[in-house]
Amino acid sequence: MGKTSHLECRECNKHYPLERLYFCPECLGPLDVKYKYDEIKWTKSSLEDAARNLWRYFDLLPIEDKSKVVNIEAGFTPLIKATRLGKVLGLKNLYIKNDTVNPTFSFKDRPAGVGISKALEFGLKAVGCASTGNLAAATAAYAAKSGLRCYIFVPKGVEPEKIGHALIYSPTVIEVNGSYDTANRIAAQAAEAYDIGVVNINLRTYYVEGSKTLGFEIAEQLNWQTPDHIVTPVGSGAMLHAISKGLGELERIGLLNSSKVKFTAAQGKGCAPIVDAFRKGSDFIEPVEHPNTLAKSLAIGEPGDGLYVLRKLRESGGYAEDVSDSEIVDGIKILAKTEGIFSEPAGGVVIGALKRLIDEGKVDSDETVVCLITGSGLKATESLTPYLPQPLSVEPELETVAQLVVR
């Protein structure tokens, strides 16, 4: 028998077998995968020799047949002590979880890997996704590796680098004339009509499990401790919820004494429906019909897991911050300048939000803070170019260069 136990509705707690369900037929709530936790015998040392990718956590991922695992060596990315950035910001224990180094350069390699492996296990012939860009490349890469047909639905206005990156893996890319939420709706209808396993829609229950490996890794890399505070970019909110679930599971199996951690959700001004609801103290998330932020990967006007993020922020004593385009650019620059990490705008949102928390006295200087940097800046160079200086142009004479070198 397998290690998974059942699906459980997050709203009404009803249980279902591990089938192709992506919401609770009883109350329409989202479903979570539950495992036979008592049978999982991880110890701190038992994982030491495990594969250095996300599949090291296979026992708590929802694939039963190991032969169906599609592995492109994603995950187990570095957790870097950001001493120089910490010094600038006034934090002694600041860490960067650098997920820009995944095979398709974003954290989406985690959930896409689990979603597509599950599609193989279900015997599907075609997969796809609705994407603001990062998931497009991740899904297309895994589809290429698995040999499944692939359909990618993107909205108008996604960064050209992200579209080009996805296209190289030879999926069918369908640019929908509308916002992300429109592309998402078309993808959902296509999933139903043509039996496509759209990873973040009708395989979502399984797909989101991949994102919790971020939480597993952070805990493992901090020697099986949780940080005090995790600052995370938020689009739909699925990643934040998954990380929290993952930490809870580590506590459940005895690898963490406590899974308590404060979460801050960071969004771009111009598409911050979760931040707005948090500030109003409301559970109603007012959708954003026309998102307008440099952080296009977070431009989700109708966040599917928004309600659950709000609950998590409140439970954990965390915060929600929205960051302007200029704060995003400043965040990207300071991260690159101090730590040598080039993030896409979502990472600028995170650093901008952290700066805000510090300015407002919401973070103590000795707190252990982890910032999630979830996608590479190379995916959004066009949108950043206007904010960068021109290179210095010189004649090929050493004397000219001499005037520019600090001695």
Give residues in contact with other proteins (CB under 8 A). 11, 21-23, 25-30, 108, 111, 129-130, 132, 135, 180-182, 184-185, 188-189, 192, 199-201, 204, 207-208, 211, 235-239, 284-285, 287, 289, 300, 302-305, 307
Q: Which is nearer to other proteins, 111 or 345 (CB)?
A: 111
Following DSSP, what letter does each residue of 134-194 receive, concatenated? HHHHHHHHHHHHHT-EEEEEEETT--HHHHHHHHTT--EEEEESS-HHHHHHHHHHHHHHH
What 8-state DSSP symbol labels residue 391?
P
Shortest Cβ 212–other proteins spacing (Å): 13
Q: Which is nearer to other proteins, 152 or 300 (CB)?
A: 300
Shortest Cβ 281–other proteins spacing (Å): 16
Shortest Cβ 330–other proteins spacing (Å): 25
Q: Which is nearer to other proteins, 59 or 305 (CB)?
A: 305
Shortest Cβ 35–other proteins spacing (Å): 21
Shortest Cβ 180–other proteins spacing (Å): 7
Q: Which is nearer to other proteins, 93 or 232 (CB)?
A: 232
3-state secondary structure of 287: coil
Following DSSP, what letter does each residue of 39-69 receive, concatenated? G----TTTTTTS-SSGGGGGGGSS---GGG-
Q: Which is nearer to other proteins, 85 or 154 (CB)?
A: 154
Shortest Cβ 87–other proteins spacing (Å): 34
Shortest Cβ 335–other proteins spacing (Å): 23
Q: Which is nearer to other proteins, 300 or 384 (CB)?
A: 300
How far apart CA 249 and CA 266 sit, in angstroms, is: 24
Instruction: Give the E-state strand segments of 224-374 in sequence order.
Output: 229-233, 262-268, 319-323, 368-373
Following DSSP, what letter does each residue of 104-145 receive, concatenated? TSBTTHHHHHHHHHHHHHTT-SEEEEE-SSHHHHHHHHHHHH
* Lookup: tokens for 117: 């492996």
Q: Which is nearer to other proteins, 72 or 239 (CB)?
A: 239
How far apart CA 150 and CA 129 sit, in angstroms, is: 8
Q: Which is nearer to other proteins, 27 or 168 (CB)?
A: 27
For residue 399, how many other CB atoms are within 10 A of its CB? 8
Shortest Cβ 213–other proteins spacing (Å): 14
Q: Which is nearer to other proteins, 78 or 178 (CB)?
A: 178
* Lookup: tokens for 328: 């995003």
- Residue 279's H or E segment, with its range, is helix 273-280
Q: How many helices (H) and strands (E) does the chain have?
A: 14, 13
For residue 129, how many other CB atoms are within 10 A of its CB? 37
Shortest Cβ 75–other proteins spacing (Å): 16
